[in-house]
Chains A and B, each alone.
Chain A
Amino acid sequence: MSAVSDVVDWFADPTHWEGPGGVPTRLLEHLGLSAAALGIACAIAVPLALWLGHVGRGGPLAVNLANTGRAVPTFAVLVLLAIGPLGFGPGSTVTALVLFAVPPILTNGYVGMREVDRDVVEAAKGVGMSPWQVARTVELPLAVPLLLNGIRLAAVQVIATATIAALVAGGGLGNIILLGFGTQDQAAVVAGALLVAAFALVTELVFVVLAGLVGRRPSPAVAEP
C-alpha cells in the first residue's frame, strides 16, 4: 500500500499548496474557467430554451442537439479549437466548454416548459393572462426543476471538459494530473485525480441540495464525463 502513503505524502507536502502550480491556484483556475463557461452557457441557453418551450417550436432541434453533443468527443473539439483559429489558451477552452454546456441546458429547459400540463396553461389563458404572464407565472415555476437539472448536467460536463483542457491549453486541476504523467510521478497523478473527482462530486452535491430545495429529484445523467 505504498501507493496510498505516497499520495498522502503528496498532499502533506507544503510545496504542493503554494505558487502558480499549487493546489489553491489550480483550483481557482478550474473554478474560474468552469464558472465563466457555465455563466455564458446559461446566458445563451436558458432564455432560448424558455422561449422555444413557451412557443412550442424547435423541439427536435433541442433534443437532437443533446444527442449529437454526446457523440462528439470533447477532447477532439478542444484540440481542433486550439490548433485552429482560436489558438492555445483560455479562449479555446471556454469556447469548447460553452459548446458542450449549452445542449443539456437547452434540452432540459425546453422539455421542462413543454411538460407543463397544457390544461393549466389553457386555464391561465382562460382567466385572461397575457402570454408573458403565462410564461412567467405559470410555465417557468413548473419548469424550474428540469431546467436546474439541465444546468447540473452542464456543470458536470464543464468540470470534466475543463480537466481535459489541461491536456490542450493548460490550467486547472487537470494540470496536476498531466504534470504527474510527464514526470512519471504516480502519486501526483492520483492526487490530482482525487482533487478533480472531489471537485466534481461537491458540485453535484450542491445541485442535489438545490434540487431538493425546489422539490424534485434529478433525472438520469446524459452528459459525457
Chain B
Amino acid sequence: MASSSTSCLQRNDWVCGEYLTTRADLIASSALEHVVLTAVSVALGLAIALPLGVLAFRFRRVGAVVLGASTALYTIPSLAMFSLLLPFTGLSATTVVVGLVLYSLTILVRNVVAGLQAVPADVVESATGTGYGPVSLLLRVQLPLALPTILAGVRVATVSTVALVTVGAILGHGGLGDLIYSGLRTQFQAEVLTATVLVVALAVVADLLLLGLQRAVTPWQRAAR
C-alpha cells in the first residue's frame, strides 16, 4: 500500500515483517521466558494444590479456610500482588512466579476438591470393601477418578497464567509482556501487536496441548461418550 522505499519499521506499521526478522532473537527469548514462567508457576501450583486439596477434602474446616483464603488472594489485583511481594523477593523472576503460583492455587485447589467430591460414594465403598487402605484408596481410586476435573483446572490455570505473566513486565520479568511494556514507552506498534498475538497464541496452544493430555490420560472418558 505505502511506498516501498521506506521500511515498515520507519512507518511504524502495526504489522511488520521486518520487525520479525530483525528482532527474531529477542522475540524468541521473550517467548521462551514466557513459557518457562508459565510452566514453572503452574507446576509448582499443582504440586501445592494437590496436598492442599486433599486436606481440604478430608477436613471440611480446613477446606473452608483454604478456599476462603485463596478466593481473597484471587481478588488482589496482579500489579498489587507483585508489588506486595517485592520486599521479600525483590525485582526478580521469583517474585513473578510466587505471585502466579498464588493465583493458580485458587483455581487448582477448587478443582482438586471438586474432583474428589465427585467420586461416587459406592466406588469408594467397594474399594474399601476389597481392602484398599486410606492411602492406596486416595492414590489408586480417588485421585485417578478426579483427574479429569483436576486437569480441567490445570487448563484454566494455565490459560490465565499465560495472560497474567505479561504484568510481570513491571518487575522486568514479564516474558512477552516485556516487549509490550517497551513498545508502550516507544509507541512501537509492531512490537506491541506481535507480542500480544503471540501471548494469545501461546494460551491457545497450551490449552490444546493440555486438552490432548487430558484425552490421552483419561481414555475412559472418551469411551463413555
Contacts and interface: CB of A to CB of B under 8 A. Distances in A.
Interface of A: 3, 67, 70-77, 79-80, 82-84, 156, 159-161, 163-164, 166-168, 174, 177-178, 180-181, 186, 189-190, 192-194, 196-197, 200-201, 203-204, 220-222, 224-225
A70 B195 CA distance: 17
Contacts of A174: 79
A83 B13 CA distance: 12
B75 interface: yes
B77 A168 contact: no
A163 to B, nearest CB: 4
A163 B82 CA distance: 12
If over half of A's interface residues share one DSSP class (helix, strand or loop), that class is named, otherwise mixed; here it is helix
Nearest to A184: B91
Given A75-B166, A79-B183, A224 B72 contact: no
Contacts of A75: 166-167, 169, 177, 180
Interface string B198-225: 0110011001000000000000000000
A164 B72 CA distance: 19
Contacts of A204: 71-72, 75
Interface residues of B, number: 44
Interface string B7-29: 00000000000000000000000
23 contacts: A3-B87, A71-B200, A71-B203, A74-B163, A76-B180, A76-B192, A79-B192, A84-B189, A160-B77, A161-B77, A177-B83, A180-B83, A190-B83, A193-B79, A193-B81, A193-B83, A193-B84, A194-B80, A200-B76, A200-B80, A225-B76, A225-B77, A225-B78
